[in-house]
Amino acid sequence: MIVSATLPLLLEYGERVTSRQIAEAAGIAEGTIFRAFTDKDELIAAVLEVALDQQPLEDALSAIDPSQSLDGALDAAIAVLQQRVIDIWRLVSSVGTRFHERSRRPLTDSHALVRLLELHRDELSVPPLPAGRLLRALTLSTTHPMLVDEPMSPHELRQLFLHGVGRC
């Protein structure tokens, strides 16, 4: 409850958010925050941990209709991946650099994305696992606000992705 109430406040105010604002958003007394967390930094670290959890991404990718064509499945997956890149960037950029070490994570494989690509294995020139890795890397590099002025649309990104891995 405290962590989920803090996330939107961090996006709005950054680490300047006050414990009073957090308590009001959570509907609790301010002292309750410090019974659960040693200090505001510990709370911010907890928010980062929750936000960086890969499970919501996996759930969103798993919810993509598996009966779609490869094009439709990729457009849906790319939209989910792009939103994840933007959400994480917004959060990490809203907190101080002293939290950046806590927010670093290696890019892990998405089993849900691999399962989605597995359904279209015959249309790919590479196996689903490396295709999924490439799609995630390509999505990151063409969406991250520090790397591009304007993200590619899912359709444009799909076209770029398939040009390299689609069977002719």
Judged against a pLDDT cut of 80, whether residue 39 lies above it is answered with yes
Average pLDDT over residues 116-143: 95
Measured CA to CA, the distance from residue 142 to residue 74 in angstroms comes to 15
Q: 105 pLDDT band (50/70/90 cuts)?
A: low
pLDDT of residue 99: 72
Measured CA to CA, the distance from residue 165 to residue 58 in angstroms comes to 23
pLDDT of residue 111: 96
Q: Whole-model pTM?
A: 0.84
- Any idea which fold 2-49 has? Arc Repressor Mutant, subunit A (1.10.10)
Q: Pick from 50, 36, 38, 39: which is nearest to 4 by CA?
A: 50
CB atoms within 10 A of CB 93: 13
- Are the beta carbons of 14 and 48 closer than 8 angstroms? no
Q: 168 pLDDT band (50/70/90 cuts)?
A: low
Domain ranges of the chain: 2-49, 53-165
pLDDT of residue 15: 86
Average pLDDT over residues 109-135: 96
Judged against a pLDDT cut of 60, whether residue 165 lies above it is answered with no
